[in-house]
Structure 1
Amino acid sequence: MGKILENLHRTLVAGLVLTVIVFLIINLGSFDPASYFAFLFRWLHVMAGILWIGLLYYFNFVQIPSMPKIPDEHKPAIGKVIAPTALFFFRWAALATVVFGLLTAMHLGYLVEALTFQAGFVTIGIGMWLALIMAFNVWFLIWPNQKKALGIVEADADTKKAAARTAMLFSRTNTMLSIPMLYCMVAYQQGYTG
């Protein structure tokens, strides 16, 4: 077991194998492919969303507040190794969350209704629009500014400082928006449809 858990890729494969076993146990003799795709899209949406929002909260609850406390000689480890890796998973998880969320809504037949706030879909529609705004912020405001702040693209010291502040403010914006977004997603699943 140690050999599996010592390697992230093996751990993820083991998790998928366990998921297949659970799937087989649950669906033995009663598999309905039509309804399963809606479930699969939702499951992938939730998995990607956990990664996305988990990293958003890591940045805002751990990394940003901790940076002033880290000695200058240790900061390059964050800026050159940890932050770029975390931002890679952060932005792709944001995209995957949106794609699988839209596929779920489309497959279940409420995509247009939710995005246009039709009766019965207002709650999920608000949640979807908040998530779309957040994903836009990730790809078009946070990531471009983080590339400058971390020195991934060429920028002078003043530009890096301004970019770091802009990235932080939009990251905080996303943290703020994540609270009502998650509320809407859970509320809709509980029958509060609006």
Structure 2
Amino acid sequence: MSDAVTLIDHLVELRNRLLKAVLSVLLIFLGLAYFAQDLYALMSQPLINAMPEGAQMIATDVASPFFAPFKLTLVLSFFIAIPYVLYQVWAFVAPGLYKNEKKLVAPLMLASTFLFYAGIAFSYFVIFPLAFPFFIGVAPEGVVISTDINSYLNFVLKLFFAFGVSFQIPIAIILLCWTGFTSADSLREKRPYVIVGVFVVGMLMTPPDPISQTLLALPMWLLFELGVMIGGLYASNREDSEADEEEKRIAK
């Protein structure tokens, strides 16, 4: 009976945490909704800067001028709320973690949030200014560049998600090393395969142009190296901690 009550309590707490996370996204959305058009204008600026003089974006759907900015605002609201959402996840799982696990998970959540934002910033400030002129420059002669606002938004959000997720590589490697699933030395031995793999992932997660693929693959490779370096340190600290605990146990 007590197990059933405990399970119900956990489910209720999980529901409350999820509701708080969703509510935080909605509150941020309500605060940004007034600026939806301005946010879309800011998001489309890299493409507009690369377009030929006199060219402009178009809307092929009647409702796109209204819904596209609000769609962007909703997704942006979720991105902004990610720290609070992760806090809710942390508050739910923390009671079941050991002390050494809490010391690992909390910094990793903060680092994961920072890396996700860094991936988005990298795509906006580095990828867009390079990729859009390339796309427009390779257009056949006589082709008028007039991008649909909804298609552009979908393209941008895919890149944001791709770079935000790919920048999580160090977190994944640290967890794998810390749990003992693999080791830093083993990952270093697989470096040639990893290099090939990141370029394959870059090809699959970005538009079919060599610039976007390369600019995603190179940061993924560097983040892999960073994750291997930090993962090795975390694994060493865990082994030292376990050795100290074992010595204390024997001494007692």
- Is this a same-fold pair by TM over 0.5? no
Q: How does the TM-score come out when normalised to structure 2?
A: 0.28
Q: Which has the larger radius of gyration?
A: 2
**Given the two structures, how large is their TM-score scaled by the length of structure 1?**
0.33
